[in-house]
Each structure stands twice: as structure tokens, then as C-alpha cells.
Structure 1
Amino acid sequence: MVNQQLTTMKQPELGKVIQQRRLSKGMTQEELVERCNINVRTIQRIEAGEVTPRAYTVRTIMEVLEIPMSIETEEKKDKSIPPLFSYLDKRQLWWAGLTGIVYFILSSFEILWNMALMSGEEVQQPEYFVMLKVAVLVTYAGFAYGFWLLGKRTGNQVLQLGAVFLILVNAVLIGVDIYYGKGMASEDIWIGVFEVVAFGISMIPFSLGLIMSKKQLGQPYLVVGALGLVNAFIFISVILVLIGVLTGAAFDIACIYLLFQQSQKQKEESFVEAAVQ
């Protein structure tokens, strides 16, 4: 007897169950399509909750994904489909988002000091300059870790590498700032140009990783990733760097939102997981 609770489940819960089961088995949509002999667009729309499939289609997908076909069999097996993110992941994503807020505040203060020190005016470097730089790097690493975790759980290596690359590049840039201090004024303008271009380049793989997350994590990742690419090329252009400060702030805020949103989504996934049982 087919599990009637699953075959009669309504969208979007049904699509979430199918997606979670597919991801837990490490299967791509293309692989599922080949084994089910169903159009790839159909699978995409089912997982997105856009259409309600026929009972025959649901049974075919259940068989391929090895979702228990009878209540008796289900009781003998583990009753839960492994979620994409664990409870610990949820907490880590929440803390990464909170760390991102701290980073945003510190980096805003840091940008103001960098602009003042490079203005050529007689501005004294504050005593806490090095401490501020280190705090920015540490909080940024915690912030980027959240996206490294997202990449790991979804199998998105581009996002993982992009997060690590961002941390490494920022570590180098902050090291340069600490080394030169106030000495990096107008006569060292090329150092500033190097920093701006390097930062812009470092954003490209990370932004591409966000765009690639759209299929598994949703449309917001595509939008934020596109914003990141625009911001990257603004910095690389150098002449638009002042605009980049504003778009960069918007990008950081959007990334913080993604982390908090993903941590809250776990509540929905727990509901879906319970519906399969």
C-alpha cells in the first residue's frame, strides 16, 4: 500500500519532501529525471511547489528515491528524512549572521578611518587602529564561515572556495593596512588601487557560488549573487569605488539576511520532515 499521507500531500510541502530526500541521497535533478523518465522542467516545478503532480508521478519518484512505500515498512526504518541542515547548523548560521552584523558595524567605522588616513590631511592614526583591523578580520571570517557551511551542506564547492578566498584576500589587505598604517597616503595611491582591485576580484567566485545556490536554496541567492558580481566589477573599475562602498554595504546586508533566513528555514524543514513520517 502506498503511503497515502505522501501521495495526498499538498504543495509546497510535497516539493520540499522530494527535494530533501533527493539531496539526502546526493542525487541531482538531472539524475532523478533520468531514472524517473520525467521531464526535467516537471521535476523543477514539482520541487518548487509550482505544480501538483499526478499520483502515478509521485509513486514513481517515491520508488526512485526509496521513500517507504508502506506504513509497516516505514515503522521498521528510520522515520525521518535527513534534513539538509542539522539543528547545530541552524545555530551556526544564526551566529554567523549575528557576526555579520558586528562586522558590518566595525567595517563601516574602518572605512571612515581609511578614507581619512588616505585623504592626505593631518589625521593621526588612532591607538586602536590595529585592534580595529584585527576585529574586522575576525568577524568577517565568522561571517564568511556561514556561507562556507551553506556550500558544504549543499555540495556547492564554488561557494565554499569563494568564502575561503574572501577570508584570505581580506587577511592580506588588512595586513597591508596594518603594515603601512598612516604611511599609505596620496603618494602610495597604487597600493590603494591594488587593494580595491584585489577586493573586487575576491568577490567574483563568492558571488558565482551564491548564484549557483539558487537551485537548492532559492531565488534570493541568485539576486544577491548578481548584486555581488555588479559590486565586484564596480571595485575593479576603481573609478567607481565610492559607489562601490554603497553597493558593498547593500551586498553585506543582503548576505546577512540570507544567513538569518536560512537559519529560520530549518523550522519549515522540520515540519516537512515530520509530514513524511
Structure 2
Amino acid sequence: MKQPELGKKILELRKSKGFTQEELVEKCNINVRTIQRIEAGDVTPRSFTVKTILEALGVDTGIFFDSSIHEEEKVELSENDKTTLRVSWISGIFVAVFSSIGMIVELAATFSHNDGSMLIPTLLWSIPFLISLFFFLRGYHRVGKLFDNTTLVSATYIYFIMEVVITLITLGLVIYEVDEHSGVILPGIAIAMLFGISELILGIGILRLKDRFGSLAQVIGIIKVVLGVMLITVLLAPFAAFFVIPVLILEVILLYNILQKYTN
């Protein structure tokens, strides 16, 4: 159990026993200020400290931690939640496909001769890509809501907005005349940095799911954070591009696993 839930639980147990904080201090020999900060959720105590407090309250530590684990796991998905996650992971497959196509289109648009030939291909790619991305990110947004992961919730908004901006920049390169070489440098840097920020923040949000969904969420989170940093540096962006699709596939698998975990 993590803070602030741990502090609230200890506070409830102390009051149920009729102890004041000072009386609890006498029983467990822990500084009163420490007890206050634990109950307020300001600090995360060591397991030894929690065990000492529980023993002073006459609570079986094994039963306490087992029930805490079950409480954290106890999340029920509504039919609407399940539908959202189901649509999300399927949409993620389309995002992976359109992302592969998009890399080629964006590269061609960046170095095109501004004869308008890339406008239709760019529109045909960008519109279905953004639609698929919306439904894909909606799944992570729902997961963030379900598990009180505000970072993940915020990251989904930021990611989608950044992708819209990147798409507009790409369309701008197709529509307006720019110098074939110098005119694409700044837009290219902007695209890499915007995408990098998106990956970094979403990676942090997914990384925060590791306690519930294990190593897969941890691996995805770490890779996306590293990718984000590489893209933001711009110089390492070409190398990062090789990992975008593989990690996207892992994200789809993670959403599928979350759905299965709370469906079965």
C-alpha cells in the first residue's frame, strides 16, 4: 500500500483502537512527528516502521499487507471501460501501420519540390492516423483515470495535441514553398522535439503503471523516456526512429493485457 492510502489506513486503525498519537508513540517508540507525517501521507515509511506501528496497534502484519494488496488490485471495469480498451488496442494496430506509412510520407514531403504532388498522400495518411491515434490514446486515458495516474491522463492530451501540430507542420511543408534544404531544417527540428516531448511524457505515465502491470509497463516506460530524450536532442532522432514502431506494438500488447486481466 502506498501513500496517502497507507497513512489513512494507519489513522483509521489508531482511532479504532482509541489511541491518541502520543499513546501510539509510547507503545511503538517512534517519534510523534514521524507518526504525524505518516498519517498525513507526507512520507513513505520503511517496512520496518510500518510493521512496528501495526504491532503496537495489535494488527497482524501479514493479514494487513495481504488485504492491502487485494484492495489495490480491486478495480472493476464497466462494460464501457472494456469497450474503450478493446477499441483502443485495435486502434493501436492501425496507428502502427499509419505511423510506418507516415514516416515515408513525412520524409517525402520534407524533401519534395513543392509541386503539390504530396498534398493528397499526406491528407490520406494524416486523417486516418489522427483518428486511430485518438481512439488509441483514449484507452491509456481511461487506464490513467481508473488507476489515478494523472501523469498518464495529461500525457494523452499532450501527445495528441503534439501530433496534430506535427501534422500541420508537415502539411505546411507540402503547401507552402520552402527552400529544399535550409527551409526544412527548422520544421524538421520542431517535429523531432515535439515528438520527443510527447514520447517522454507518455513514457513517464506508462512507467508509473509498473507496480500494477509489472515489467512490460516498466520496459515500455523506460524505452519511451529514452526515445523522448533522443528525439529532443535532434541529433539522435534518426536512431530513435527505428524503435518507434516496435515500442508502439508493445504499447498495444500492454493495453490488451490490461483488458484481459480485468475481464477474466
Q: Report the TM-score, using the length of structure 2 for normalisation.
A: 0.71
Correspondence for 2:81: 89
1:221–1:84 distance in 2 versus 1, CA, 3 Å = farther
1:27–1:248 distance in 2 versus 1, CA, 3 Å = same
CA offsets per residue over residues 151-187 of structure 1, 9 Å max, x none? 0000010000011100011111112212331646423
Amino acid at match of 1:116: A
Q: CA deviation at 1:228?
A: 0.4
1:28–1:213 distance in 2 versus 1, CA, 3 Å = farther
* Structure 2, unpaired ranges of 5+: 15-44, 49-58
Correspondence for 1:174: 167
1:41–1:255 distance in 2 versus 1, CA, 3 Å = farther
Correspondence for 2:131: 138
Root-mean-square deviation (CA), in Å? 3.4
Correspondence for 2:28: none
Amino acid at match of 1:83: V
Q: CA deviation at 1:225?
A: 0.5
Q: CA deviation at 1:29?
A: 4.6
Correspondence for 1:260: 256
Distance (Å, rounded) in 2 between the aligned partners of 1:83 and 1:244: 36
1:200–1:32 distance in 2 versus 1, CA, 3 Å = same
CA contact (8 A) 1:33 1:40 kept: no
CA contact (8 A) 1:133 1:178 kept: no
CA contact (8 A) 2:119 2:174 kept: no
CA contact (8 A) 2:105 2:121 kept: no
Amino acid at match of 1:96: S
CA contact (8 A) 1:91 1:263 kept: no
CA offsets per residue over residues 87-132 of structure 1, 9 Å max, x none? 3312211210100101111121111121123235798315242132
Between the aligned residues of both structures, percent identity stands at 17
Distance (Å, rounded) in 1 between the aligned partners of 2:68 and 2:133: 42
Q: CA deviation at 1:31?
A: 4.3
1:84–1:41 distance in 2 versus 1, CA, 3 Å = farther
Alignment coverage as a number of residue pairs? 220
CA contact (8 A) 1:96 1:259 kept: yes
CA offsets per residue over residues 4-38 of structure 1, 9 Å max, x none? xxxxxxxxxxxxxxx8xx9xxx973554466669x
Correspondent of 2:5 among 11, 28, 43 = 28
Distance (Å, rounded) in 2 between the aligned partners of 1:102 and 1:96: 10
Distance (Å, rounded) in 2 between the aligned partners of 1:261 and 1:36: 35
Correspondent of 1:227 among 223, 232, 240 = 223
Distance (Å, rounded) in 2 between the aligned partners of 1:180 and 1:135: 20
Correspondent of 2:108 among 97, 116, 138 = 116
Other structure's SS at 2:75 match: coil
Q: Which has the higher contact order (CA 8 A, sep 6+)?
A: 1
1:200 correspondence with 2:196: yes
CA contact (8 A) 1:117 1:125 kept: yes
CA contact (8 A) 2:200 2:226 kept: no
Correspondence for 1:74: none
Correspondence for 2:20: none
